[in-house]
Structure 1
Amino acid sequence: MARDSGPDWSDRAPRANGRPRVIVIGGGVSGMAAGIYGQMNGMDTRIFETHVLPGGCCTAWSRQGYIFDYCIEWLIGTGAGNDANQIWRELGALDGKSVRDFDMFNKVTDENGRSVIFYNDPDRLERHLLEISPADHALIRSFCADLRRFIKIEMYPFLKPDPLKSVGEKLKTLWEILPAFRLFWRNAATPMHAFADKFQDPLLRRAFRNIFYQDPECFPLLPYLYNMACAYNHNAGFPQGGSLGLSRSIEERYNALGGIMTYRARVDRILVENGRAVGVELKGGARHYADVVVSAADGHTTIYGMLEGKYTNPTIDTLYEEMLNKPGILFPAVVSAFVGLHGDFDPDDSHSTTYMLSEEEGARLPGALQNSIVVQLRSRYSDGFAPPGRSVIHCTYFSDFNYWRTLRSEDRKRYWAEKKQVVQFVREFLDKRYPGIGERIELVDVGTPATTKRYTGNSNGSILAWKAFSDAEDLANELVNKGRMQLPGLSGFYMAGQWVGLGGLIRAASSGRFVMQFICKEIGREFQATESVAAAPWHTGKLGHFPQLDKTPPERPALARHAVPALDQVSAV
């Protein structure tokens, strides 16, 4: 399915066809998007990807017929008639796919078994919350009233970066925003913590913080209302095939446009001559040349590794040197435990539940940052994730990257023991919540933040890079709006991805679109984009081959067979 060969790019001579050559570092969603938009605009692009599958964090792996979907929980842009959906159509991401929508965003259950369900329908949500705590009627009605207002607003500014917008386009955006300005301003200025602390009911105080499964800690009300409104409008669903399915569809679109995807190709250095990026050097020494280089890889590795820290300014140094290690700035890393089991669940069981844990329970989860764990019935999200008669559960919790990194580098035996502890906790916890489930469990696979770092190269194992609404957001926005996704003193080079566009798949995809718009501006071409016309129904066969690992050394716990050789897994058996 993936193309891993192509013309020789070690030749520095100009192209006979006059098409500019563009090298893209990283085959995640943003890198593939950059490649697709480059192909659409008369460029020859080549993506160098370290691993053997596309998508970066947007991936999955397989064992014993189970597919463990790692990334997507909801996808902005699954509904028609908005900018986000237009981008997915241009990338072919949803070609031939059905989308599954849920009537609730998440359920939160405390240690005593009390639950709150965050329905996407504001009327239903309001009735439910008032039943739980009539005394909190003012806060409940305020939140639901604002949710109704957000449902009527469709603003998805993902098509064009601000520096390239005309005065007319900026005025049009302003005109659209003005009627809702007060709504946006008020909810962007109100921290969720401050809002939640006003509830009299202790369950609601904790539950509102965990609408997004676990507590991101610095978010205001705005993203909660925005995403719940998207879900109500069927614009935040789960696409058939999940994370790897999305990545494979984008890869298929890229290949169809003539792009070249080269796997098992790690870029060690970006080649620079006379202040201009001219190509890349791969591990092993092979050099490839291009007119433009785009890095969609980890930001710190790109700037201070591939470019040796030679092209920075105070903003970049503050962002990548100070903010990177400042508490609360990066989106937390996660521990994932996938459970494969016989049978299914009660149809009335929530597809996603955050369980609040006691201090004692939380202390049993290695490296946990919060006393909670998220349980998602993943086989409810899309067909094909489990063999017939079986189901998949995904359990996650925010965890400390340094805890796992230190263990893995200094005490590998304890590292594996801690992964076994996760397995044991998950087994016992699920059996307590779903009596008898322990006898039905076939396997449990665990991935840690150290796994994420090894597989994706993401700094500190973060899956979403900088937190929105943190001190880093304005600095990251400067890289787009002032720096035009370039670095000072270096021409012919651009950055894309979550480290400049912040986290989230639609932001990653739009950053690939943005970067090609900037490149078109530089070379004097009018940017063009067309929608994919592929209409064949999607099926699980399109996930392609899942590469397998060699057998694990006997002194270690049995590794699972998984989609990418870099993923650590520990079996429950």
Structure 2
Amino acid sequence: MAGVPAARPGAAAQAPATDWESREPTPGTPPRVLVIGAGLAGLAAGSYGRMSGLRTLVLEKHVLPGGCCTAWSREGYVFDYCIEWLIGTAEGNEAHQVWRELGALDGKSVTNFELFNKVVGRDGREVVFWNDPDRLEAHLLELSPADAPHIRAYCRDLRRFQKIELYPFLTAPALKTLGEKLRTLRTVLPAFRLFWRNAATPMHAFADKFQDPLLRTAFRNIFFQDPEGFPVLPYLFNMASAYHGNAGFPQGGSLGLARSVEERYTGLGGEIRYRARVERVLVEDDRAIGVVLRGGKTLYAEHVISAADGDTTIKGLLGGRYTGPRIDKLYEELLDQEGTLFPAVVSAFVGIEGGLPEGDAHSTTYLLDEQDAARLPGGLQSSIVVQLRSRYADGFAPEGKSVVHCTYFSDYGYWADLRAKDRRAYRARKSEVAAFVREFLERKWPEVAGRIELVDVASPATTRRYTGNHKGSILAWKAFSEADDISAKLVGKDRMRLPGLAGFSMAGQWVGMGGLIRAASTGRFAVQYLCDELGLPFRAFESENTEPWHPGKLGSLPQLDRWNEREERGR
């Protein structure tokens, strides 16, 4: 097997003739790898498998790649669902290298913003979280001179994080060389106290030190809404990345990113099948040997990688037969424990005739009074996020029009029960969301009154239906939680394998935690571990595609749920 040729840049990159329906592989051909799920992790696993000379087939139940990294359309508008910022958009770091290897940024421009988010209080006062610590410090001190010690402490640490580059996304933890470990130590040790202090301080505890009540709430909402339980460290890390242009918005957005990686994968000779729902993993003598699709077709391989929902994989595709203490802790104890999963969201996309108000931030969190908050069905927090999506990238709205994305954290159970028991009530709650968003925007921007063409609402139940994510969670396990610690051991100690089962790996956010770069890196890690096991050299090289990105590359977009406010009002 050591002599298996890898797909090379500029080569034809065609896989050998497929024999996926044969129990035994064609003699003399490379090992076959089936990948379940065409999210970023699954596409990454397929791509790195091809680069390393393996034969790969990605199976996706939906009609699009990307999983949660997706978009849909309505009346010429593109509703971009996932990316708010993407780590790795600037050159010179490991995250960017992964995206270059996967072709994710091929031919694309990147939009960077001077601010991370703006928070507007119930009284109209505003806190702008500038990425520049000097500008941020001056702004915050003007708002609340009494909070000078805490303001200066945060901005001082932000300056320190801007000097640190730590993006560990190239090598699987258990395969790191001594040199790689030493390089990490040289970065971490001088800043150990900085990391430790900010990782050990919950943002809630830090924010509660402020005398100004608006600052106490605003700091919790730097990430648009309050993720609850996060320490200060990720806020500093992401703002520092944004300051360096390493947390920008790529042209084409979420589905554009997925389409680019899909193009890279198929260009390497990888195969992908849509509308191919895996019903179970086929196991023989405690070794995965293939999968059974809905409809009964069986496909075989020497290795199976599941980049699908974790609970579905463990309990559904494998019938709960291969678990251990870590898996049991995650999926029997923590999975349904409050605060363990990242919340689900309600998304309301608004199509507007004409332009948007000049001077408004690209992203604003509005803190709501009790009356407004009570109008958001299933709401978990008294706030709503308004993003001016037309300012992120071109192609999201027809010429002369604009699109806005409004979101709030919401209770999955509320929406799932409604949809299961009373579809009419489910649609009515969607109408209530649309009506509130329309009225709220017209209140904030009187100049758009009469120009809102449509409001398209997607609930957490929609997310669950189209992505399979447990409880509609958009980022799976919540970072910096007990689940985070266990997941790190799944990747580092267990090599992304399940106890007692050979020929099988897991990848994706249910193993490596949320965030697109982390998901993509798990696909890389899974193939690194597999190559190590097979005695094959792991290979990775950057895409050489220089074709400029254009909106036509999004392809045909679906219309999720076939529901929007305009259609509802027209009935």
**TM > 0.5 between the two?**
yes
Give 1:8 deviation, angstroms: 4.2
Matches within 5 A, 1:360-439: 360-439=371-450
Match of 1:564 in 2: none
Tell me the residue number matched to 2:275.
Answer: 264
Deviation at 1:419, TM superposition (A): 0.5
Counterpart residue type for residue 283 of structure 2? V
Partner of 1:93: 104
Decide which of 4, 8, 15 is 2:26's aligned counterpart: 15
Task: Please show how residues 110-149 of structure 1 align to structure 2 within 5 Å.
Answer: 110-149=121-160
Paired with 1:172 and 1:146, the residues of 2 have a C-alpha distance of 22
Alignment pair present for 1:275 and 2:279: no
What is the letter of the counterpart of residue 465 of structure 1? A
Query: Counterpart in 2 of 1:565?
Result: none
* 4+ long deviations beyond 4 Å: 568-573
Q: Which of 506, 517, 523 pairs up with 2:528?
A: 517
Moved more, 285-294 or 152-161: 152-161
Aligned to 2:514, which of 480, 503, 514? 503
> d(CA) in 1 for partners of 2:305 and 2:266?
18
Aligned residue type for 1:187:
N
Aligned residues: 556
Q: Report what 1:68 is aligned to.
A: 79
8 Å contact from structure 1 (residues 423, 572) kept in 2: no
Contact 1:446 1:569 in 2 (8 A): no
The superposition leaves residues 235-283 of structure 1 with CA deviations (integer Å, 9 ceiling, x where unpaired) of 0000000000000000000000000000000000000001100000000
Distance in 2 of aligned mates of 1:546 and 1:360: 37
Other-structure match for 1:314: 325
Q: CA deviation at 1:13?
A: 2.2
User: Is residue 297 of structure 2 the alignment partner of residue 293 of structure 1?
Assistant: no
Which AA in structure 1 matches 2:489? Answer: E
Structure 2 letter corresponding to 1:492: G
Q: Quote the Cα distance in structure 2 between the aligned partners of 1:352 and 1:78.
A: 19
Alpha-carbon distance, 1:161 to partner: 1.6
- Helix, strand or coil: the match of 2:335? helix
1:62 alignment partner AA: S
Say whether residues 1:172 and 2:176 are aligned partners: no
- State the alpha-carbon separation in 2 of the partners of residues 393 and 215 from structure 1: 21
User: What are structure 1's unaligned runs of at least 5 residues?
Assistant: 553-557, 561-567
- Write the letter of the residue equivalent to 1:155: L
- Code of the aligned partner of 1:263: Y
Q: Distance in 1 between matches of 2:525 and 2:176?
A: 11
Q: Which of the residues 555, 560, 563 maps onto 1:559?
A: 563
Question: Which residue type is aligned with residue 178 of structure 1?
Answer: L
Separation in 2, partners of 1:378, 1:548? 18
State which of 95, 118, 122 in structure 2 corresponds to 1:107.
Answer: 118
Structure 2 counterpart of 1:555: none
Output one character per residue of 1:452-483: Cα deviation in whole Å (capped at 9) or x when no partner: 00000000100100011112111111211111
CA distance in 1 between partners of 2:455 and 2:52 (Å):
46
**Distance change (3 Å), C-alpha of 1:347 and 1:437:** closer
Distance 1:231 1:570 in 2: 39
Q: Indicate whether 1:254 and 2:265 are aligned.
A: yes
| CA displacement, residues 374-423 of structure 1 (integer Å, 9 cap, x when unaligned) | 00000000001001110000000000000001101011111111000000
Which residue identity does 2:456 align to in structure 1? Answer: D
Alignment match, 1:185? 196
Distance in 2 of aligned mates of 1:350 and 1:477:
36
- Equivalent residue in structure 1 for 2:361, among 340, 347, 350: 350
SS at match of 2:192: helix
Distance in 2 (alpha carbons) for counterparts of 1:478 and 1:299: 15
Within the candidate set 233, 250, 261, 1:239 is matched to 250
Q: What SS does the aligned partner of 1:485 have?
A: coil
- Which one of 41, 46, 59 corresponds to residue 35 of structure 1? 46
Output the CA distance in 1 between the equivalents of 2:113 and 2:182.
36
Q: Which residue of 1 aligns with 2:10?
A: none
- Counterparts of residues 159-238 of structure 1 (less than 5 Å): 159-238=170-249
Q: Is the 8 A contact 1:495 1:515 kept in 2?
A: yes
Could you give the per-residue CA deviations for residues 211-248 of structure 1, whole angstroms, max 9, x where no partner exists? Answer: 00000010000000000000000000000000000000
Please list the CA deviations of residues 337-356 of structure 1 after superposition, one character each: whole Å capped at 9, or x if unmatched: 00001111233111100000
Displacement after TM superposition at 1:571 (Å): 5.2
Shift of residue 171, structure 1, vs aligned partner: 2.3
The one-letter amino acid of 1:559's match is: W
Q: Identify if the C-alpha distance between structure 1 residues 335 and 572 changes in structure 2 by more than 3 Å, giving closer, same or farther.
A: farther
CA distance in 2, matches of 1:546, 1:458: 20
Once structures 1 and 2 are overlaid, which stretch shifts more, 220-229 or 320-329? 320-329
Structure 2: gaps of 5 or more residues: 1-13
Shift of 1:502: 0.2
1:534 match? 545
* Closer, same or farther: CA 17–6 of 1 in aligned 2, 3 Å: closer
Deviation at 1:548, TM superposition (A): 5.5
Shift in Å, 1:572: 6.1
Alpha carbons 1:447, 1:569 under 8 Å: kept: no
Whether 1:305 aligns to 2:316 is yes
How many Å separate the matches in 2 of 1:402 and 1:361?
22
After TM superposition, give the deviation of residue 136 of structure 1 in Å.
0.5
Which TM-score applies when normalising by structure 2? 0.95
Out of 150, 159, 167, the residue aligned to residue 161 of structure 2 is 150
1:64 Cα offset (Å) = 1.0
Q: Retained in 1: the 8 A contact 2:121–2:367?
A: yes
